[in-house]
Structure 1
Amino acid sequence: MKVEAWNLVRNVVKEKLARDEVALSMTVRLIRTAEIVTIAKTAGFDTFYIDLEHSSLSIETASQICMTAMNSGVAPFVRLPNLASDVIARILDGGALGVIAPHVESAEQAKQVVRAAKFPPLGERSHGGVLPHMGFRSFPTSEVGEAVNAATMVVIMIETKEALAAIDEIAAIDGVDLLFIGTSDLCASLGIPGQFEHEMVRDAYAKGMTACRKYGKHLGVGGLNAHPKLVAQFVEMGARYVSTGTDISFLVSGASAKAAVMRNL
């Protein structure tokens, strides 16, 4: 029986978003081995992103984790350390099903990410041979490009007042799948650091949701894992991708709670 390229690569986040369901994500900054994939799956996460911006993890480590995740039904994304096209190519060729691009403040920068992340005709990503997404099988270039483009997500972070001002133009770009609001950094940029319940934050999410609905994109919530009521409000507003916290925070909070219980015995 012939194996077709588009039957080999699957992104559960895209599938959930298409069904208007919430996709839950965790952030990997500490764990350097594939065990984090099984932990994420057992805990019930749909996806995780490996944060190469705020950690010392390498592209090689990220690739090993991503390849394990692809075979476990958990969608692996990588938060980019920068917007360089060669970095984006290496991360995606290594097994990621999406890139999360920080420090994007204009439509042109968002286009740059799409060009690097997508194969022609949508982008300019180079075909470098067999991919882990295809089980290292060989397929016609056109089939690989179509299948991988369909499964690969481009996520643009909205974390500055400049990005917020350009959010409509960014959402309009073909190839951008999701706008991910980095609430903490956005608050700092707006001059209201730590004021997550400020009206300007609600206005930012409302503006983001309007842009996403206008252009058929999706909205993500970041930086609010300590504020579940706010997350619930933004999900009710229409956000469907939720970042819940880091492996570091989960470990510290769990360990701290257990130590407190045992010390009070």
Structure 2
Amino acid sequence: MFNLETPSKNLTKSKMDSGGVAVGMVVRLMRGVEIAAIAKSAGFDCLYIDLEHCSFSLETVSQISLTATALGVTPLVRVPGINKTEIGRVLETGAQGVIVPHVENRAEAEEIVDASRFPPRGSRSLLATNAHTLFRGGPAAEVMEDMEEATLVVGMIESAIAVENSDDIASVDGMDMLLVGTNDLCNSFGVPGELDHPRVREAYEHVAAVCRARGKHLGVGGLNSRPELAKEMIRLGGRYVSAGSDTGFLMSAATATARLFR
């Protein structure tokens, strides 16, 4: 059987599947491949390239993704929205996972899976010699099977409607994880910035229960400023957590250093 060797294995997915917690670093600022090396040295499991909130080109995404994979750091990409072409191109460039924001219902989840998965579960197009195979050829069925296994599909839960429909969203075959976007969820509830509001906690508990029942992973996002709260959500069953961004890390360290020398 054709087999993708270690560089193309999705280590973050494997870690979550085995019961571990994967820690991600959001990338919005640094366009060079050096960010992948920094993430590796810092101890992150994955990079979360955020195309919803940055101006990166597809070429930048490709270079960072390829470098990260070679270093053993899983490259995940948040696309701006539900767009089949964008999802396909991001995965084709070397991303090992796609994160889609503002998923509200089952129909949208099905559209995401259709764009992310090969037939028969989806309609993703196959280019057999690509970044994931290190540009080696192989039998089409086997290449698609291995690439399927190495792809993580994530839907973001960011509104009251999405929480209400989370069981329908999680029930879609091919959706691997529900990632709660806490800041937008707060906005939806009318409590902006109140990350520990009872309604937010209830939402996490509900989505966590759905994930357990459906055999899907729970992701924790937007709580990097409140690590103690993030840990509470991980105790509910979270298997992925966004721990901060390159912008936040740089500003925090720069501000602290400037203050020290003043």
Amino acid at match of 1:206: E
Amino acid at match of 2:18: R
Secondary structure at the aligned position of 1:149 is classed as: helix
Amino acid at match of 2:35: I
1:121 and 1:97 mapped to 2: Cα distance?
A: 20
Q: Does residue 110 of structure 1 match 2:113?
A: no
User: 1:5 — aligned with what?
Assistant: 3
For the 8 Å contact 1:70–1:133, the answer to whether it is kept is no
Q: How far did residue 206 of structure 1 move?
A: 0.6
For the 8 Å contact 2:2–2:143, the answer to whether it is kept is no
4+ residue segments displaced more than 6 Å = none
2:139 and 2:177 mapped to 1: Cα distance?
A: 29
User: 2:177 — aligned with what?
Assistant: 178
User: 2:196 — aligned with what?
Assistant: 197
Q: Does residue 215 of structure 1 match 2:237?
A: no
1:245 and 1:10 mapped to 2: Cα distance?
A: 24
For the 8 Å contact 2:128–2:138, the answer to whether it is kept is no
Secondary structure at the aligned position of 1:233 is classed as: helix
User: 1:135 — aligned with what?
Assistant: 134
Per-residue CA deviations over 1:137-183 (Å, capped at 9, x if unaligned) read 00111011100111101000000111111000001111000100000
User: 1:93 — aligned with what?
Assistant: 92
Q: How far did residue 197 of structure 1 move?
A: 1.2
Q: How far did residue 126 of structure 1 move?
A: 0.7
Secondary structure at the aligned position of 2:71 is classed as: coil
Amino acid at match of 2:113: V
Q: How far did residue 85 of structure 1 move?
A: 0.7
Q: How far did residue 128 of structure 1 move?
A: 2.4
Please report the RMSD computed on the Cα atoms of aligned residues, expressed in angstroms. 1.1
Amino acid at match of 2:243: T
User: Larger deviation: 128-137 or 178-187?
Assistant: 128-137
For the 8 Å contact 2:128–2:143, the answer to whether it is kept is no
TM-score (norm 2): 0.97
1:158 and 1:80 mapped to 2: Cα distance?
A: 14
Q: How far did residue 194 of structure 1 move?
A: 1.0
Q: How far did residue 82 of structure 1 move?
A: 2.0
Q: Does residue 30 of structure 1 match 2:29?
A: yes
2:37 and 2:112 mapped to 1: Cα distance?
A: 30
Q: How far did residue 198 of structure 1 move?
A: 0.9
Q: Does residue 162 of structure 1 match 2:161?
A: yes
TM-score (norm 1): 0.96
Identity %: 48
Count of aligned pairs: 261
User: 1:54 — aligned with what?
Assistant: 53
User: 1:84 — aligned with what?
Assistant: 83
Amino acid at match of 2:133: M
2:175 and 2:32 mapped to 1: Cα distance?
A: 30
Secondary structure at the aligned position of 1:220 is classed as: strand
2:131 and 2:142 mapped to 1: Cα distance?
A: 15
Q: How far did residue 4 of structure 1 move?
A: 2.9
1:176 and 1:4 mapped to 2: Cα distance?
A: 25
Amino acid at match of 1:229: E
Structure 2 unaligned spans of 5+: none
Amino acid at match of 2:57: S
Q: Does residue 43 of structure 1 match 2:38?
A: no
User: Larger deviation: 188-197 or 5-14?
Assistant: 5-14
Per-residue CA deviations over 1:203-259 (Å, capped at 9, x if unaligned) read 111111111011100101111111111111111111110001110010000111111
User: Larger deviation: 146-155 or 8-17?
Assistant: 8-17
Amino acid at match of 1:232: K
Secondary structure at the aligned position of 1:242 is classed as: strand
2:251 and 2:16 mapped to 1: Cα distance?
A: 31
For the 8 Å contact 2:106–2:172, the answer to whether it is kept is yes
2:196 and 2:126 mapped to 1: Cα distance?
A: 45
Q: How far did residue 260 of structure 1 move?
A: 0.8
